[in-house]
Amino acid sequence: MPLKECKMNERDIVIYLRNLSKTYRVFEASSDSIRNIVFNIFKFKERREIKALQTLNLDIRRGEFFGIIGRNGSGKSTLLDMIMKTLQPDKGGLVYTKGKMMKLSIGMGFDLNLTGRENVYVNGAVLGLSFKQIGRKFKEIFEFAELENFVDTKVKHYSKGMKARLAFAVAIHAEADIFLFDEFFGGVGDMRFKKKSDEVFKTHLIQNKTVVIVSHSLPIIKKHCKRVLCLDKGKILGIGPTEKMIKIYQEAIKKR
């Protein structure tokens, strides 16, 4: 096992990454004339490699709240997908995780043509809850989201805020040892609901959990993370204390 390579006092490592890289190979198409463009006739150039992530070594410990920052296209979501093992790293890359892991993201949406009731069961099942468990939590979910009068309304008729509240109310029932957040965090809705959701987020969902969060919100990263990974176009600019990594990130933005 990879953790045998660690020292005895490092047995609390729950995410262990070595030589982690991801390369995509794509064909670029060119066209000699407007006619070829119109009729979609292409001449292919040689393959081009896109380095989505380059040689990352990282240990994350049990109970750590670890941040990942970087501009769009820097490889943040690619890294989360490799940690989740839904995306394979390049040859030689090693991913070891210990404990039940779950990824939550803003993109985890509802089927707009289903009702709130139906979406709760579908999304709850995606989070690993049985229908029996969802049934026991059903009333609590809609009460927390303050949507008791919209249980059987199709979600396409929900406002953006209503959908966000219901999605959050379902997500807080997720059970895992490690959470990977891709721009997903507590605090949705108006100020009153935001305060309520922030509190339950901290006391219920992430308490005593290992959390890896990808976010463009530097205040969130600064508030919760002691250690941060900074990425830029797949390159590792640094891993270290939050304030230092934020400065590196801001300098990289200025240079561009």
pLDDT reported for residue 67: 97
Candidates 165, 176, 161, 181; CA nearest to 120 is 165
pLDDT reported for residue 178: 96
Residue 18 has pLDDT above 60, yes or no: yes
What residues contact 103, with CB distance under 8 A and at least 6 apart?
A: 80, 84, 179, 180, 181, 182
Across the range 92-100, mean pLDDT stands at 95
Across the range 183-197, mean pLDDT stands at 75
Higher local confidence (pLDDT), 113 or 184: 113
Fold classified for 2-100+215-255: Rossmann fold (3.40.50)
pLDDT reported for residue 192: 83
The tens digit of pLDDT for each residue in 204-232 reads 888 889 999 999 989 989 989 999 999 99
Distances (CA, A) of 95 to 83, 113, 169, 226: 6, 38, 31, 22
In angstroms, the CA 79 to CA 20 distance is 9
pLDDT reported for residue 114: 96
Per-residue confidence band for 110, with pLDDT thresholds at 50, 70 and 90: confident
CB atoms under 10 Å from CB of 27, counted, come to: 10
Q: At what angle do helices 116-126 and 131-145 cross, to 10 degrees?
A: 120
In angstroms, the CA 192 to CA 167 distance is 17
pLDDT reported for residue 8: 37
Distances (CA, A) of 70 to 116, 157, 168: 35, 35, 25
pLDDT reported for residue 195: 83
Residue 105 has pLDDT above 90, yes or no: no
Per-residue confidence band for 173, with pLDDT thresholds at 50, 70 and 90: confident
Phi/psi of residue 231, nearest 5 degrees: -120, 150
Q: What is the pTM of this model?
A: 0.81
